[in-house]
Chains A and B, each alone.
Chain A
Amino acid sequence: MKKLLAIVMGAAMMLSGCGGNNASSDVPDPVEKYGSDTLKLYNWGEYMGEDLIYNFQKEFGVKVIVEYFDSNEMMYTKLQAGDSYDVIVPSDYMIERLIANDYLMELDKSLIPNIDNLHEGVRSLAFDPEEKYSVPYFWGNVGIVYNKNNVSIEDLEKEGYNILKDQKYKGKIYMYDSERDSFMVALKALGYSMNTENEQEIQEAYNWLLELNNTMEPSYVTDEVIDNMANGMKDMAVVYSGDAAYILSQNEDMGFFMPNEGTNTWCDAMVIPKNAENPKLAHEFINYVLSYDASYDNSYTVGYASTNKQVLADMSSEGGEYYQNEAYLPRTNYEKDEVFKDNPVLKETLANLWIKVKASN
């Protein structure tokens, strides 16, 4: 619904944009200032504050064209095909690949003064240690959303990820239908690194998932998990913390648990591709997103953890939207948490194993 609204609004704005480009005289002519008045943004669906684009257009007298992708791979394929965007918001490992393949422009930090607003947890992340190419947009972890009435916290603490194989909860769990997230769970449950390339360890993780598949009657879902858990359809689900924050805000029976075995710390960040037609305006947009108001709008609407430290603090403190919501604040400085590394070979191996896990029954 939100997406539909965004499209309708976008269309309406485009129409209004055609009519009066210089409606407000106090806004400097964007063509003079940036060389163009159009910004092409490529973002995930349902991933922006409701007024973000509208406000940006009004404040800078420009037009924003938004396109949506639903997987990093889809975004990469389009970029490879030569499509041009000014700002893209891919995930950690994909940014690593984009940097390695020379797709990204080095950012001009002098144009992004708001970079100082970033939370320390998203500074100098592994995929871009010198912060040369990317500016974090949202971040979080992966954990288990559970129904507090049916799942005991003692079990969770004692068993960690292995609770997903506890026969007590047979037929009552959702797994996330993506190879890297599922293997992350399995590898962490076995005490290995989620970026492992060790064949023995991967094989063990495969067997772990296979056993889960064959004994627990799990449902493999992606975004449906959000509504389904908010409606309390099952007792446990492996969920991204941002989605979990939304689930918890909708259904007070639900809790969020991050296993002690460690988890994935992920980060989606804004980048400017080399073939961007309007890099100056792209810098302006990135800077704008980091401002307090825009970050607040983003985090408030979407429910994912803001990368703006002030917003993050305000949202999670008393009176904030996500006060006492245990899924909102990402876990930082925990040594067993990792960030995904880009490894196309490993990804292919896992994808093949994952389809086999799902196909066997």
Chain B
Amino acid sequence: MRQFRSMAYPYIIWIAAMIVVPMLMIFMYAFTVKGNDVTTFRFTIENFGKFFSDAIFIEVLKRSLFIAVITTIICVLLGYPAAYIIAQTEGKTKMFLILLITLPMWINMLVRTYAWMGILQDDGILNSILSIFGLDVKLLHTSFAVILGMVYNFIPFMILQIHTSLSKMDKSLIEAASDLGANKLQCFLRVTLPLSLPGVISGITLVFLPAVSSFFIPKLLGGGQFVLIGNVIESQFLTAGNWNFGSAISLIMAVIIMISMYITKKVDKVENGERGIFN
């Protein structure tokens, strides 16, 4: 194995250049502000103070977390049955179903979101169907549209993760459980569900992370008045030109995400009977 170790170097260099260096830069920016004529920058924590002292930013943060949590819950509720059904199938049917899930991902996310704008807008496809029944609903530029867009865009990650852990599962365990007298529901709750939890957990991570920091879905489907934390970060970089404050908010988000990942990992361990947060 030793001779293969050197093959990891390109990867390490890649990680260093593409992940570590940008992270360090965000860190640097977050803890500095533009200086005066003598020094180009100075260290400070005022960027963080600026964020936490402003009720509007806190409100936006709460809203973002709320939308992301709702999105994640819906993705689990819809994604788990879908993954379960796919895992029951075999061969070509399975490949076809997986293809159906991944097919939309071949198209750029932005394009798909624009398509939803066309479907949801006031004179769009959905509303013209609803108008046949005399209904006139405002769909676009609502939280419904934003959550719909997020669920639509991120649910494949959930389904694929759960599906992977379901199909890796040893089927003989279920047979053993049935032999020992467990009914179907008990089999599912006591065997299948716990064994698929790692997939659910990584699915939650993969949905929650992009959902909480997404900025173009709320912008397009929520309208300019639907501001999430991603939009605040975007505005700091693109219009306000305050990279320091933008980086500070990004860092706050990174910390929140890390904490939530830590908690889900702990919960995962508790479920698996290992030592968790509470014991």
Q: Provided the pairs A220-B223, A221-B223, A359-B59 are in contact, do residues A73 and B231 lie with their beta carbons within 8 angstroms?
A: no
Q: Indicate if A361 sits at the interface (CB-CB under 8 A).
A: yes
A355-B224 CB under 8 A given contacts A73-B239, A347-B240, A348-B242: no
Distance in angstroms from A351 CB to nearest chain B CB is 4
The answer to whether A355 touches B227, judged by C-beta atoms less than 8 angstroms apart, is: yes
Q: Is the CB of B238 within 8 A of A219?
A: no
- Which B residues are in CB contact (< 8 Å) with A352? 240, 242
**CB contacts between A and B, total, < 8 Å:** 61
Interchain nearest-CB distance for A96 vs B (Å)? 15
**CA A358 – CA B56 in complex, angstroms?**
10
Instruction: Indicate if B6 sits at the interface (CB-CB under 8 A).
Output: no
Q: Is the CB of A220 within 8 A of B225?
A: yes
Contact A177 B241 (CB under 8 A): no
Say if the beta carbon of B274 comes within 8 Å of chain A: no
> Does B271 sit at the interface, judged by CB under 8 A?
no
Contact present for B227 and A351 (CB under 8 Å): no
Contact with A along B124-148 (1 / 0, CB 8 A): 0000000000000000010000000
Known A-B contacts A231-B123, A233-B123; the reply to A361 vs B225 at CB < 8 A is yes
Main SS of the interface on chain B?
Answer: loop
- Chain A nearest Cβ from B24, distance in angstroms: 20
Identify A348's interface contact among B60, B232, B240, CB under 8 A.
B240
Do A219 and B240 form a contact, CB below 8 Å, given A231-B123, A356-B56?
Answer: no
B46 within 8 A of A: no
Task: Using CB atoms, name the residue of chain B closest to A222.
Answer: B224
B224 touches A71 (CB 8 A): no
Across the interface, which residues of A come within 8 angstroms of B232, CB to CB? 355, 359
With contact pairs A233-B123, A359-B59, A359-B60 given, residues A177 and B238 touching in the complex (Cβ less than 8 Å):
no
Chain A min CB distance to B201 (Å): 32
**Is there a chain A Cβ closer than 8 Å to B235's Cβ?**
yes
Closest beta carbon of chain A to B116's beta carbon, Å: 14
Other-chain residue from B54, B57, B59, B224 in contact with A177 (beta carbon distance below 8 A)? B224
| Distance A218 CA – B60 CA, assembled complex (angstroms) | 19
| Contact indicator A351/B235 (Cβ below 8 Å) | yes
- A27 and B135 alpha carbons, distance in the complex (Å): 64
Tell me, yes or no, whether B122 is within 8 Å of chain A by CB: yes
Check if A355 sits within 8 Å of B235, measured CB to CB. Answer: yes
CB < 8 Å neighbour of B238 from A73, A213, A231, A344? A73
Residues of A within 8 A of B225 (CB): 213, 218-220, 358, 361
Which residues does chain B contribute within 8 Å of A175, judged by CB atoms? 224
Q: Which A residue's beta carbon lies closest to that of B140?
A: A219
Central interface residue in B224, B236, B242, by most chain A CB within 10 Å:
B224
A178 to B232, CA, bound (A): 13
Residue pair A344, B223 in contact (C-beta under 8 Å): no
Candidates A73, A220, A356; contact of B224 at CB < 8 Å: A220
Contacts of B123 in A (CB 8 A): 231, 233
Assembled-state Cα–Cα distance A361/B225 (Å): 9
By a CB distance below 8 angstroms, the chain A residues around B56 are: 356, 359-360
| Interface hub of B59, B60, B238, B239 (most chain A Cβ within 10 A) | B239
Asked if A74 is at the interface of the complex by the 8 Å CB criterion, the answer is: yes
Minimum distance in angstroms from A76 CB to a CB of chain B? 9
Which chain B residues border A218 with CB–CB below 8 Å? Answer: 225
Number of interface residues of A (CB under 8 A): 27
| Chain A 321-361 residues near chain B, CB threshold 8 A | 344, 347-348, 351-352, 354-356, 358-361
A contact residues around B239 at 8 Å (CB): 71, 73, 178-179, 347, 351, 354
Interface core residue of B60, B225, B235 (most chain A CB under 10 Å): B225
Most chain B CB atoms below 10 A, which of A74, A177, A178, A352: A352
Chain B positions within 8 Å of A356 at CB level: 54, 56
Output the residue of A74, A218, A359 with the most chain B CB within 10 A. Answer: A359
Separation in Å of the A226 CB from the closest CB of chain B?
Answer: 14
Q: Of residues 173 to 226 in A, which have CB atoms within 8 Å of B's CB atoms?
A: 175, 177-179, 213, 218-222
B241 in contact with A348 (CB, 8 Å): yes
A228 to chain B, nearest CB (A): 8
- Closest A residue to B240 by beta carbon equals A351
- Which residues, 194 to 224 on B, are CB-close (under 8 Å) to A? 223-224
By a CB distance below 8 angstroms, the chain A residues around B59 are 359-360
Query: Which residues of chain A have C-beta atoms less than 8 A from B60's C-beta?
Result: 359
User: In whole Å, how far is B228's beta carbon from the nearest beta carbon of chain A?
Assistant: 9
Complex Cα–Cα for A240 and B206 (A): 41
The CA of A344 and the CA of B224, in the complex, are separated in Å by: 22
Q: Within the assembled complex, what's the spacing in Å between the Cα atoms of A175 and B225?
A: 10
In addition to A73-B241, A361-B225, 10 A-B residue pairs with Cβ atoms within 8 Å of each other are A179-B239, A219-B224, A220-B224, A351-B239, A351-B241, A352-B242, A355-B240, A356-B56, A358-B227, A359-B232
Residues of A within 8 A of B (CB): 71, 73-74, 175, 177-179, 213, 218-222, 231, 233, 344, 347-348, 351-352, 354-356, 358-361
Q: Report 10 cross-chain contacts, Cβ distance below 8 Å, ordered by A residue.
A: A71-B238, A73-B239, A219-B224, A233-B122, A347-B239, A347-B240, A347-B241, A352-B242, A355-B227, A360-B59
Interface residues of B (CB under 8 A from A): 54, 56-57, 59-60, 122-123, 141, 223-225, 227, 231-232, 235-236, 238-242
